[in-house]
Structure 1
Amino acid sequence: MKESQSITNNLLIEVDVLSNRLRNIKQSFKTTHNKGLKERLFYENKNIFKRVNEISKIAKLLNKKSNEKINFSKLLVEITKRTLNENKLESNLFFL
């Protein structure tokens, strides 16, 4: 299986957008007192986290099939891993 760079690049862009949205959700969650908004932010965070997890699995599959030492799929694996770790470390924010 050959890696499609355009698909990998699109996934990189998507992870970047989702990562920024996760940070914005956390900031909004900290500053708002509206119960309905907090609930919506909680579910949005959960859905985005699921999508980043899906992209991470795709990235690992692409990376496993590639023979190259440096490629976009390795970058995608690293970025998704960092985004997931960042979200896991701060996940207790939603249970305060």
Structure 2
Amino acid sequence: MKESQSITNNLLMEVDLLSNRLRNIKQSFKTTQNKGLKERLFSENKTIFNRVNEISKIAELLNKASTEKINFSNLLVEKTKRTLNENKFESNLFFL
């Protein structure tokens, strides 16, 4: 399987957008007192986290198929790992 740089770049942009949205959700969750909004933010956080996890699995497959040491799929793997780790460390926010 040959890596498509166009698809990989699109996934990189998507992870970047999702990562920013996760940060915004956390900030909104901290500042709001509305119970309904908190429930919606919690649900959206879970959905986005699952999507980043899916992209991470795709990135791992692309990276394994590549013979080059430096490529976009390697960057995608790193970016998804960082986003997932950031979200895991801050997941306690939703259980306060």
Q: Same fold by TM-score, threshold 0.5 exceeded?
A: yes
- Rounded to whole Å, the distance in 2 between the matches of 1:45 and 1:69 is 33
Measure how far apart 1:18 and its partner are.
0.1
Query: Helix, strand or coil: the match of 2:82?
Result: helix
- The percentage of aligned residue pairs carrying the same residue is 88
- Rounded to whole Å, the distance in 1 between the matches of 2:44 and 2:95 is 15
Q: For residues 14-53 of structure 1, what are the structure 2 equivalents within 5 Å?
A: 14-53=14-53
State the Cα deviation string for residues 6-59 of structure 1 (Å, max 9, x = none). Answer: 000000000000000000000000000000000000000000000000000000
Measure how far apart 1:71 and its partner are.
0.2
**TM-score, length-normalised on structure 1?**
1.00
- Rounded to whole Å, the distance in 2 between the matches of 1:2 and 1:17 is 25
**TM-score, length-normalised on structure 2?**
1.00
Q: Which runs of 5+ in 1 are unaligned?
A: none
2:67 aligned partner: 67
Q: Which runs of 5+ in 2 are unaligned?
A: none
- Rounded to whole Å, the distance in 2 between the matches of 1:13 and 1:69 is 21
- Rounded to whole Å, the distance in 1 between the matches of 2:69 and 2:44 is 36
Q: CA RMSD in A?
A: 0.2
Measure how far apart 1:70 and its partner are.
0.3
- Rounded to whole Å, the distance in 2 between the matches of 1:19 and 1:88 is 12
Count of residues in correspondence between the two structures: 96
Structure 1 stretches of 4+ with a deviation exceeding 6 A read none
